[in-house]
A and B are shown apart, each in its own frame.
Chain A
């Protein structure tokens, strides 16, 4: 009899677990953003629901109704996902901008060494002539830093921009990277066509780095713009 009771309890426990995992599976389909952030949200929600079940059991509920009540307490998956939409959008924008700002100097320095030999020109016009995309890169870096600062720890002092604006900034910076890389590859092609003296190994490295970033920046921009469109459609 005791074994039968334990068997029934085990079945109900499995039912609880199945109900929770079904809920989390559905929640996962509605969460949109970087994978690590989504995984963290699911892990935290799983823990919270199990604590809610435990609370119901402590109040005398049976396991199956306890799981149902805990899931009802947390709310429909689509509603819960909508509540995380802004946060995931901001994380998406921050990840994109950080990745581009961190790789930018590496790519930029390769082109600088290749096309503007030391001693580098200090006059702005001469530097601009050597690296035509410098002004637009400067604007992109400024926008990126503003978004990172205003969505990080400085939110305690500064108003946080709407997530859709942060995503737009991230997409714009990705497009600037695309433009910059395409421009520098075109400049390199022009130099090679004129048989200008260039350090070919460095030219190869610079070209490869730009091609890699082209392959990455395009999808990053598309991902940010898609996230922005989905954010606009999310129920508030």
Chain B
């Protein structure tokens, strides 16, 4: 899937991947790949800058550590990030239900 197809949803997906605990940048990429069954195979050039932007906004925070002689930057959710993730989930549930209804040409709520 092309990264631009995720426009508007990438932040929520990154926050969700970090919900269970801290991950480093490549760990976030791998988790997205595994959790989506390979659908979201995002390049590092998309994920790393997005993580840095989320940190600047205060939704996640990072911590440096040494692993195998290398510096590692790990990210975890802040309280603001957890609140935003809840809002993203609610917003997505409503949005996806509405899209499903229209696409299925069925009355609200969609009955499949």
Partner of A83 from B48, B57, B84 at Cβ < 8 Å: B48
B46: chain A residues at CB < 8 Å are: 83
Docked complex Cα distance between A75 and B49 (Å):
14
Q: How far is the CB of A7 from chain B (nearest CB, A)?
A: 21
Interface SS, A side: helix
| B interface residues, how many (CB within 8 angstroms) | 26
Convert A54-77 into 0s and 1s, putting 1 for each residue whose CB lies closer than 8 angstroms to a CB of B: 010000000000000000011100
Convert B40-51 into 0s and 1s, putting 1 for each residue whose CB lies closer than 8 angstroms to a CB of A: 000111101100
B49: chain A residues at CB < 8 Å are: 83-84, 86-87
Partner of B71 from A47, A75, A82, A86 at Cβ < 8 Å: A47
B52: chain A residues at CB < 8 Å are: 87
Partner of A51 from B26, B56, B58 at Cβ < 8 Å: B26
Given A47-B71, A51-B24, A84 contacting B57 (CB threshold 8 A): no
Could you say which interface size class chain A belongs to? Answer: 20 to 34
Interface residues of B in 50-68 (CB under 8 A from A): 52-53, 56-59, 67-68
B72: chain A residues at CB < 8 Å are: 44, 47
CB pair B71–A83 under 8 Å, yes or no, is no
Determine if B99 is an interface residue (Cβ-Cβ < 8 Å).
no
Determine if A52 is an interface residue (Cβ-Cβ < 8 Å).
yes
Q: How far is the CB of B24 from chain A (nearest CB, A)?
A: 6
Q: How far is the CB of A222 from chain B (nearest CB, A)?
A: 25
Determine if A164 is an interface residue (Cβ-Cβ < 8 Å).
no
CB pair A48–B58 under 8 Å, yes or no, is no
Determine if A103 is an interface residue (Cβ-Cβ < 8 Å).
no
B57: chain A residues at CB < 8 Å are: 153, 155-156
Determine if B19 is an interface residue (Cβ-Cβ < 8 Å).
no
Convert A78-109 into 0s and 1s, putting 1 for each residue whose CB lies closer than 8 angstroms to a CB of B: 01101110110010000000000000000000
Given A50-B68, A156-B58, A43 contacting B48 (CB threshold 8 A): no
CB pair B48–A44 under 8 Å, yes or no, is yes
Given A153-B56, A155-B57, A55 contacting B44 (CB threshold 8 A): no
**Residues of B that sit less than 8 Å from A by CB:** 24-27, 29-30, 43-46, 48-49, 52-53, 56-59, 67-68, 70-73, 80, 84
30 A-B pairs with CB atoms under 8 Å apart are A41-B48, A43-B70, A44-B24, A44-B72, A45-B44, A46-B71, A47-B67, A48-B24, A55-B30, A73-B43, A73-B44, A75-B43, A75-B45, A83-B43, A83-B44, A83-B45, A83-B46, A83-B49, A84-B45, A87-B49, A87-B53, A90-B56, A151-B56, A152-B56, A153-B56, A153-B57, A153-B58, A155-B57, A156-B57, A156-B59
**Residues of A that sit less than 8 Å from B by CB:** 40-41, 43-48, 50-52, 55, 73-75, 79-80, 82-84, 86-87, 90, 151-153, 155-156
